[in-house]
Amino acid sequence: KNLVLVQETAGEDWLTPDWFRLGASSLLNDLLMQREKLATGRYAGPDYFTLD
């Protein structure tokens, strides 16, 4: 599920050990912030999405 989520959200290039690792606590926030930046041209704060 995580691999599909990354591929559909960020693209196949992110499916490498350099960019994606399971268990990364801030990975979801990073992906969501990048997606927001692509959609709106600006970053939202990390606490806008989830808190660990």
Amino acid at the residue 19: W
Three-class SS of the chain:
CHHHHHHHHHCHHHCCCCCCCCCCCCHHHHHHHHHHHHHHCCCCCHHHCCCC
**Tell me: the pLDDT tens digits for 1-33?**
878 888 888 888 888 888 877 666 677 778 888
For the beta carbon of residue 36, count every other beta carbon within 10 angstroms.
Answer: 15
Average pLDDT over residues 42-52: 71
Q: The domain containing residue 34 runs over which residues? A: 1-39
Evaluate whether residue 49 is within a structural domain.
Answer: no
Domain count, the chain: 1
As a whole number of angstroms, the distance between CA 41 and CA 2 comes to 26
Evaluate whether residue 21 is within a structural domain.
Answer: yes
Which residue would you say has higher pLDDT here, 41 or 28? Answer: 41
Evaluate whether residue 47 is within a structural domain.
Answer: no
